[in-house]
């Protein structure tokens, strides 16, 4: 391995992978290195899928490795610029539309399903929109291409091999300890193995798992950032029958609500029809909740899960949104011995702890088998509790049954993309030669915009290097 490259990409998630793809497509003689703290995709295996118990792999195979958390997500590609990130604010709406189409075509090239949800059900969508309006909810229409957890893994595996065959070098099981900055310009990186690697261009393409790492890099080097939004909430699980109309016609209904009591923004996110609730583990063993959905019929469940996220924007002197989210998640972990807390909505409303006995009365069987029955009021601030309850009551007007006593709420779901790095239209930070893209820089919030972001920054680099 050389110690000098044209481009070093930190992180092999969708933004980093698509950046490398575009660089090699346009200039195959470039020397490109991806440094990834996790494993090659074929070595990413979560023992919990067999044992049903987390064994504390370091690094976690669910959140790190080639394709990042996207490899084991349910793989929904949001095809609208209105969903999944801030690219329209940086690049403009029309340019974002163009990039989303290009990144979508690359997914199709590597085997994505050609079916798109939410484009051929005009009558049904009008009815959903009508119900949303009467409940003061805003329906954000967004065509969805669903990869599926197991199919997404195969698609990213093909991309990994394509990149390797194209000449991209990849350094796995390796952390970047620091970025070398001289005279306010990035010159290279230092790894946890003591290697010093130089490059003309450094791209930080870490995902949410790496947001805290990049936040500290920015603090240490004076890289300009802004306090971002904190998204904290729960994962809701109901029977498929409750969500059937929304699932069939939209696959993922993206609904936004401003709560009557506090006027806080709450949104639905990452719906998984016939899916399962899952645990994600971050550094230091932090457990947060997520959800998956599979394409294979034999892997489907009887339940639908989705996230409800409360968006909070803080003012000075507050400046540590990631730490705030972690503290709430750690409180839940402490109460549940490092596992995920689950509470029925009936108990949530009544302010009482869910017990094993009451949980067993339900028609609804939890898909996260090691979740611990508990009381979310011991975890969340009162304001977030009120926001969640008011959102669920509003959703019940669109799809009756969500506000049932047996509906399950898992906590805590936190999205670690709150370190908002200040970038220009070429995604260059206040340090020349250092670009920040993807979820970890709070530029994007989903697979498709992250992938499009990778393409965009690659073109900016090529223009500079030419």
Tens digits of per-residue pLDDT, 330-378? 999 999 999 999 999 999 999 999 999 999 988 899 999 999 999 999 9
Residue 416 pLDDT more than 60?
Answer: yes
Q: In the chain, pLDDT over 90 holds for what percent of residues?
A: 74
Residue 238 pLDDT more than 70?
Answer: yes
Half-sphere exposure of 146 (CA within 13 A, CB side): 21
Half-sphere exposure of 261 (CA within 13 A, CB side): 12
Positions of E strands within 282-375: 287-292, 303-312, 341-344, 372-373
**56-92 residue pLDDT tens:** 677 877 788 999 887 777 788 999 999 999 999 999 9
Q: Given this model, what pLDDT does residue 52 score?
A: 62
Q: Given this model, what pLDDT does residue 164 score?
A: 98
Residue 289, SS3 per DSSP:
strand
Q: Given this model, what pLDDT does residue 316 score?
A: 74
Mean pLDDT of all residues in the chain?
92
Gyration radius (Cα) of the chain, Å: 21
What is the Cα–Cα distance from 67 to 71, expressed in whole angstroms?
A: 5
**299-335 residue pLDDT tens:** 899 999 999 999 987 777 887 887 898 999 999 999 9
What is the Cα–Cα distance from 77 to 370, expressed in whole angstroms?
A: 29
Q: Given this model, what pLDDT does residue 462 score?
A: 97
Containing H/E element for 14? helix 14-26
**Helices 14-26 and 93-109: angle between axes, nearest 10 degrees:** 90
- Count of all residues that appear for the chain in the document: 466
User: What distance lies between CA 28 and its chain's CA centroid?
Assistant: 30
Q: Given this model, what pLDDT does residue 54 score?
A: 65
Average pLDDT over residues 12-35: 97
Domain 4-112+147-226+420-465 fold is FAD/NAD(P)-binding domain (3.50.50)
What is the Cα–Cα distance from 74 to 401, expressed in whole angstroms?
A: 24
Containing H/E element for 328? helix 321-335
Of the listed ranges 23-32, 411-420, 429-438, the one predicted with least confidence: 411-420
How far, in Å, are 147, 182, 239, 356, 373 from residue 365 at the CA level?
Answer: 26, 57, 9, 12, 13
Instruction: Assess contact for 73 and 430: CB atoms under 8 A.
Output: no
Of the listed ranges 119-123, 173-177, 380-384, the one predicted with least confidence: 119-123
What is the Cα–Cα distance from 442 to 113, expressed in whole angstroms?
A: 28
Strands 4-10 and 32-35: parallel
What is the Cα–Cα distance from 256 to 251, expressed in whole angstroms?
A: 16
Task: Read off the pTM.
Answer: 0.83
Short-list 400, 113, 90, CA closest to 243: 400
Instruction: Assess contact for 339 and 372: CB atoms under 8 A.
Output: yes
What is the Cα–Cα distance from 159 to 155, expressed in whole angstroms?
A: 6
Of the listed ranges 67-81, 161-175, 195-209, 321-335, the one predicted with least confidence: 67-81
Per-residue pLDDT band at 49 (split at 50, 70, 90): low
Average pLDDT over residues 415-443: 89
Per-residue pLDDT band at 208 (split at 50, 70, 90): confident
Q: Which residues contact 450 (CB under 8 A, 6 or more apart)?
A: 13, 14, 15, 18, 70, 84, 85, 207, 437, 438, 439, 444
Give the start-to-end residue ranges of the domains of the chain.
Answer: 4-112+147-226+420-465, 122-143+229-415
Instruction: Assess contact for 296 and 281: CB atoms under 8 A.
Output: no
**118-154 residue pLDDT tens:** 888 889 999 999 999 999 999 998 999 988 878 888 9
Residue 84, SS3 per DSSP:
coil
Where helices occur in 110-190 by DSSP H, the ranges are: 122-134, 149-165
What is the Cα–Cα distance from 45 to 371, expressed in whole angstroms?
A: 21
Residue 263, classified by CB atoms within 10 Å of its CB into exposed (0-12), middle (13-18) or buried (19+), is exposed
């Amino acid at each position: 391995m050389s110690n000098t490259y044209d481009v070093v990409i930190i992180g092999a998630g969708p933004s980093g992978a698509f950046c490398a793809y575009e660089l090699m497509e346009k200039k195959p003689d470039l020397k490109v290195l991806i440094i990834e703290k996790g494993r090659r995709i074929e070595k990413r295996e979560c023992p919990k899928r067999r044992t049903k118990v987390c064994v504390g792999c370091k690094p976690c195979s669910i959140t790190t490795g080639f394709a990042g958390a996207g490899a084991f997500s349910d793989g929904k590609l949001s095809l609208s610029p209105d969903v999944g990130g801030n690219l329209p604010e940086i690049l403009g709406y029309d340019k974002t539309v163009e990039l989303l189409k290009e990144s979508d075509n690359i997914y199709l090239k590597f085997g994505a399903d050609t079916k798109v949800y939410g484009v051929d059900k005009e009558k049904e969508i009008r009815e959903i929109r009508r119900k949303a309006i009467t409940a003061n909810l805003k329906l954000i229409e967004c065509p969805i291409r669903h990869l599926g957890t197991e199919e997404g893994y195969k698609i990213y595996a093909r991309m990994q091999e394509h990149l390797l065959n194209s000449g991209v070098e990849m350094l796995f099981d390796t952390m970047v300890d620091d970025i070398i900055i001289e005279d306010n310009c990035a010159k290279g990186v230092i790894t946890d193995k003591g290697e010093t690697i130089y490059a003309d261009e450094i791209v930080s393409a870490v995902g949410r798992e790496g947001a805290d790492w990049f936040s500290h890099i920015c603090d240490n080097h004076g890289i300009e950032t802004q306090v971002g939004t904190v998204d904290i909430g729960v994962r809701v699980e109901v029977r498929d029958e409750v969500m059937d109309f929304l699932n069939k016609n939209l696959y993922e209904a993206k609904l936004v609500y401003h709560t009557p009591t506090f006027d806080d923004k709450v949104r639905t996110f990452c719906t998984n029809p016939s899916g399962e609730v899952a645990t994600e583990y971050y550094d230091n063993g932090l457990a947060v909740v997520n959800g998956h959905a599979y394409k294979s019929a034999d892997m489907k469940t009887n339940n639908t899960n989705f996230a409800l996220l409360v968006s909070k924007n803080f003012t000075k002197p507050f400046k540590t949104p990631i730490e705030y989210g972690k503290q709430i998640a750690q409180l839940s972990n402490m109460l549940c011995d490092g596992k995920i807390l689950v509470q029925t909505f009936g108990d949530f409303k009544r302010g009482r702890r869910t017990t094993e006995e009451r949980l067993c009365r339900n028609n609804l069987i939890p898909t996260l088998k090691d979740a611990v029955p508990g009381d979310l009021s011991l975890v969340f601030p009162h304001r977030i509790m009120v926001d969640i309850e008011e959102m669920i009551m509003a959703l019940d007007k669109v799809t009756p049954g969500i506000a049932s006593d047996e509906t399950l709420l898992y906590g805590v779901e936190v999205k670690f993309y709150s370190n908002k790095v200040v970038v220009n239209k070429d995604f260059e930070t206040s340090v020349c030669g250092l670009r920040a893209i993807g979820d970890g820089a709070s530029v994007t919030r989903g697979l498709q915009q992250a992938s499009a972001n990778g393409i965009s920054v690659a073109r900016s680099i090529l223009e500079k290097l030419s």
